[in-house]
Structure 1
Amino acid sequence: MSQATTDLLKVLAVTLLVFAASTLVMLYGILLLAQYGANLPMVGSLPLSAPPELIPILAGSGVFGTLAAVHVTGSGIALLLTSATIDQALLITAKAVAVVIVALLGFAVGHMVYLQLTENTALNLNPLMPALIALAGFFVLSTFLAVPALRQLGNLRFAIGVGMIVLGPLLLVWL
């Protein structure tokens, strides 16, 4: 495993923990303020048996699938060209989207832990499955299928580039 992959895994783990802990602290802060007379929305208005609806809606809406399909097509075009700037832009984008997905998952995990501790609701990860799949896809796009890694294959990169250009629209239909 390369140092860049290890660093990305560290960033993803820390992001998940920070967002889960921050969500837990925030929700308990709102609960305490609401109980002691602060004029804030009640925590009871949050869904009790599922993570906030935003995460499954985002993951299920096709936003991450569309970004992945466009990223695969862009990677194919980048492999046909020679541009360190495009390579770096695609690599940063894949890593950034992975971090955003992990932040959303951290928020959902923090919320579910809060509900488990306060309402004793069961943990249900099924609504988060599309986000977990998207995370796996963007992790692969930022490590093994990153343009700089594929560029090391020499002239085979041209065939892979054409294949990725064809695969992008197929992913859009499939995802």
Structure 2
Amino acid sequence: MSQDTIDLLKVLVATALVFAGGTLVMLYVIFLLAQYGANLPMIGALPLQAPPELVPVLVDSRVFPTLAAVHVTASGIALLLASHTIDSALLIAAKAVAVVITALIGFAGGHMIYLQLNESTPVALNALAPALIALAGFFVLSTWLSVGNLRQLGNLRFVVGVAAILLGPTLLVWL
């Protein structure tokens, strides 16, 4: 495993932990303000409620499959061109989307822990399955299937590029 992959894994773990912890703290502050700060003039006027269950809505909105399909198509175009800037842009975009998905998973994990601790709600990871699949996909796109790695195929990269251009719209329909 390369150092870039290890660094990305470290960032993803740190992001998940920070967002899970941040969510727990935020929800407990909301809980404490709702319980003990309702008489304060500035806080009593605020509608303090727990965040809605946005994770399934965000995951099922087809944003991640659309981004994956566009990324695969753009990677195919980048393989046909010779541009270090485009390669870097696609690598940064794939890593950024992986970090955003990890932040969403961290938020959901923190929210599930909060519900488990306060309401004894069972932890259900079914709603996170699409996000976990999207995270795995963008992790692969930012490591092993990055344009920089595919360029090492020599002239075979042109065939892979054309295949990626054709695969992108197929992924959009399939996913």
Using the size of structure 1 for normalisation, the TM-score is 0.93
Question: Which residue in 1 is equivalent to 2:166?
Answer: 166
| CA RMSD, 1 decimal | 1.1
> C-alpha deviations, 1:27-46, integer Å up to 9, x for none?
00111111112424344x55
Q: Identity of counterpart residues, as a percentage? A: 72
Counterpart residue number, 1:112:
112
CA distance in structure 1 between the aligned counterparts of 2:114 and 2:54, rounded to whole angstroms:
17
Q: Deviations over 1:29-86 (max 9, x none)?
A: 111111112424344x55xxxxx43221121121100000000000000000000000
Partner of 1:28: 28
Give the AA of the match of 2:171.
L
Instruction: Give 1:16's aligned residue.
Output: 16
Write the deviation string for residues 125-163 of structure 1: whole angstroms up to 9, x where unpaired: 101111111111100000011000100111111110011
TM-score under structure 2 length normalisation:
0.93
Which of 44, 47, 58 is the equivalent residue of 1:41? 47
**In the aligned structure 1, how far is the partner of 2:134 from the partner of 2:30?**
31
Q: Structure 1 unaligned runs (5+)?
A: 47-51
How far, CA to CA, are the matches of 2:47 and 2:113 in structure 1?
Answer: 20
Separation in structure 2 between the aligned mates of residue 53 and residue 31 of structure 1, nearest angstrom: 16
Length, aligned pairs only: 169
